[in-house]
Structure 1
Amino acid sequence: MSRYKLLLIAIVVFVIAWFFLLYASVHTPENPSDLNDTSGVPAVSIYSIMLAVIGGVAIIMSSVGILISAKLRPASFLSNLMVFVVSNALLVLGSLLGVFIIVSYVLDNPFGVAGVFLYLMVIGFVMSAAPKRSTFRRPS
């Protein structure tokens, strides 16, 4: 499978994992230590929205990285690797943040467990889409 298809799959899975996180956090109480305290917003909801903003920026950066990488195809391995790292680092860090949020707050929900699995799949897809040295030829 092509690198670009893997990155597009990673972006789609990232969005699906975020929806799983959002759905898992719907019924989280505002204050888990005092269930009668219903004022305020649950922390997991705040973190979910923060992850949505970070994820939106990560998706834009990854999409721009795909376009730049397609234009730099004949360029050197190091330039393609740098474009890949810069454009996809936020997607991987956002996935790690998603795993942290789910493990911290909603791991007892089946959607939370599926969300962790999906975020780990995103990391795997991004790592498998990394440019390989064997695909680049040395200039003669």
Structure 2
Amino acid sequence: MAEEKNDDQILIRLPKSLKAQLEGAARVEGMTAQEWIRKAIQNRIGLLNVCPVCGTVNAGTAKFCNECGSSLKDSKRSMYFAWMKNVVKEELEEGGNLDAVLAYLDDPAGEQAKLEKKGKWVVRTEEK
């Protein structure tokens, strides 16, 4: 993957307690704080309700694009929620407990990574 040239910057001011938590989370994952923030932003953007036809970002509850009118059933957000529903259903059917289900809701990216290691299907975002 070609390295991107970073021309634009965003300044984020954080309270000391949040900065310490962020740095701790980054350390646990073997990243710098900047890498961890970039990954978190990319994961969040991957869950936006983006129209698969025109690329417009829509409200999270929208079922149709407010720009072109296309159905949003194939947006990454819709696919993610369908995946999450199936994961929760499977977990409960396999005798899982509520704590396991809540883990999926608290840290979907972390739980996706665990499932990927087990060879189960996960939602992936495409990198260009």
TM-score, normalised via structure 2 length: 0.28
TM-score, normalised via structure 1 length: 0.27
